[in-house]
């Protein structure tokens, strides 16, 4: 029988004794008719509405301790269950699994956390202001004219934390079950790219450390400016030092480039970040991984050109939703 608290049991018995049918009582109390039937049968046999004793291990925590476990993990989301088990008031030691079980009953489960930027109140306010200013922009009139650009770094050996290995119990340390990783991913390449609603730039390798002179001479002038020659074009890049240097701003001003103001620490607002994700997935799906940096860059160029334009258009069309997500989170990190 479903466990009913004392007040519900007494309410049901009162209704039955007043002449209501079992089905009427069940509908009134939102329980099944069989539950009311068993309650009435037990009351007639024993004269009591209390449920019969049940087998099973008795609870080791009180209601107050259960409430402490729940409230503690709501206030301190990254606290481990083992710390809570050791700090539980009442003097009685409990197992870590008991803490986990209690958290599961309240809907709290352990997940891999989202990695987000460290956003101060000033950052959140700037992101909120930017999102509100651009919330009414439309794809037809505004976003389709923006050239979104960014740099990204790709490793020779990328290890996806979602990757799984099939092995037998006890085979954790078998050589064929170990996902070997060289230090720092074995090296990699940094690339620059830009996307628009109707096209994309060439994927460019950024050798060494990016500075303003290299950004202007090797990236903006030969690759970005041709994209920005279109009517009403706007250029988006973040607030990295080479992007905000005087040499860069002077070049953009001299070529009458309209630059889209950008809030700091806002990769979730830039759709090209998801283009990088798509590029990384396509690279990892290759049967033969590139063995060196030169072939890695060649593979990246090929996969960059193979990304369907419809995918890029869909990413740019998500800008109104990105703005709304920032507003809903009050400037904090979003699902994008």
pLDDT (0 to 100) of residue 42: 86
Q: Which residues contact 87 (CB under 8 A, 6 or more apart)?
A: 72
What pLDDT, on the 0 to 100 scale, is given for residue 1? 42
Rounded to a whole number, what is the largest CA-CA distance in the chain?
A: 95
Can you give the pLDDT at residue 186?
A: 61
pLDDT of residue 2: 47
pLDDT at residue 299, as a whole number? 95
Q: Supply the pLDDT for residue 9.
A: 85
Per-residue pLDDT for the chain (336 aa), expressed as one digit of tens each? 446 778 888 888 888 888 899 999 888 888 888 888 888 888 888 888 777 776 667 778 888 889 999 999 999 988 999 999 888 887 778 889 999 999 998 888 888 887 888 899 999 999 999 999 999 999 999 999 999 999 999 988 765 555 677 778 887 777 777 776 665 556 789 999 999 999 999 999 998 889 999 999 999 999 999 999 989 999 999 999 999 999 999 999 999 999 999 999 999 999 999 999 999 999 988 888 888 899 999 999 999 999 999 999 999 999 999 999 999 999 999 999
CB atoms within 10 A of CB 301: 16
The pLDDT assigned to 139 comes to 94
DSSP 70-115: HHHHHH-TT--HHHHHHH-TTS----HHHHHHHHHHTT----PPP-
Give ∠ CA 166-170-174 in degrees, rounded to 5. Answer: 65
* Strand arrangement of the beta sheet that strand 234-236 belongs to: 204-205, 188-195, 146-155, 234-236, 258-259
Distance, CA of 30 to CA of 13 (rounded, Å):
15
Confidence at residue 199, expressed as pLDDT on a 0 to 100 scale: 93
Decide: helix, strand or coil at residue 204.
strand
Backbone angles phi, psi at 204, to 5 degrees: -110, 135
- Residues 120 and 122: their CA atoms lie apart, in Å, by 5
Q: Cβ–Cβ contacts within 10 Å for residue 204, how many?
A: 19
User: CB neighbours of 116 closer than 8 A, spacing ≥ 6?
Assistant: 332, 333
């Amino acid at each position: 029988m479903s466990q009913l608290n004392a007040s519900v049991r007494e309410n049901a018995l009162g209704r039955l004794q007043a002449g209501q049918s079992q089905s009427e009582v069940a509908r009134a109390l939102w329980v099944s008719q069989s539950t009311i039937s068993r309650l009435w049968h037990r009351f007639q046999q024993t004269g009591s509405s209390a449920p019969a004793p049940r087998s099973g291990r008795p609870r080791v925590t009180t209601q107050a301790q259960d409430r402490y476990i729940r409230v503690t993990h709501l206030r301190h989301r990254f606290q481990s269950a083992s710390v809570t088990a050791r700090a539980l008031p009442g003097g009685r030691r409990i197992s870590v699994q008991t803490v986990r079980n209690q958290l599961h009953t309240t809907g709290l489960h352990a997940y891999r956390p989202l990695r987000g930027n460290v956003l101060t109140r000033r950052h959140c306010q700037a992101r909120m202001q930017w999102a509100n200013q651009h919330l009414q922009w439309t794809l037809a009139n505004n976003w389709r004219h923006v050239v979104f650009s960014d740099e990204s770094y790709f490793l020779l050996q990328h290890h996806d934390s979602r990757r799984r290995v099939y092995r037998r119990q006890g085979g954790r340390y078998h050589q064929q079950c170990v996902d070997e990783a060289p230090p720092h991913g074995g090296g990699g390449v940094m690339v620059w790219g830009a996307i628009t609603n109707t096209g994309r730039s060439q994927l460019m390798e950024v050798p060494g450390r990016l500075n303003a002179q290299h950004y202007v001479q090797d990236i903006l002038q030969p690759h970005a400016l041709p994209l920005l020659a279109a009517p009403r074009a706007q250029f988006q890049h973040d607030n990295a030092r080479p992007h905000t240097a005087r040499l860069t701003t002077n070049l953009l001003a001299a070529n009458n480039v309209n630059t889209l103001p950008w809030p700091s620490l806002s990769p979730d607002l830039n759709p090209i970040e998801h283009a990088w994700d798509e590029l990384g997935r396509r690279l990892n799906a290759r049967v033969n991984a590139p063995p060196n940096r030169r072939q890695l860059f060649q593979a990246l160029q090929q996969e960059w050109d193979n990304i369907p334009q419809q995918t890029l258009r869909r990413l740019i069309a998500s800008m109104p939703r990105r703005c709304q997500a920032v507003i809903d989170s009050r400037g904090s990190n979003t699902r994008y």
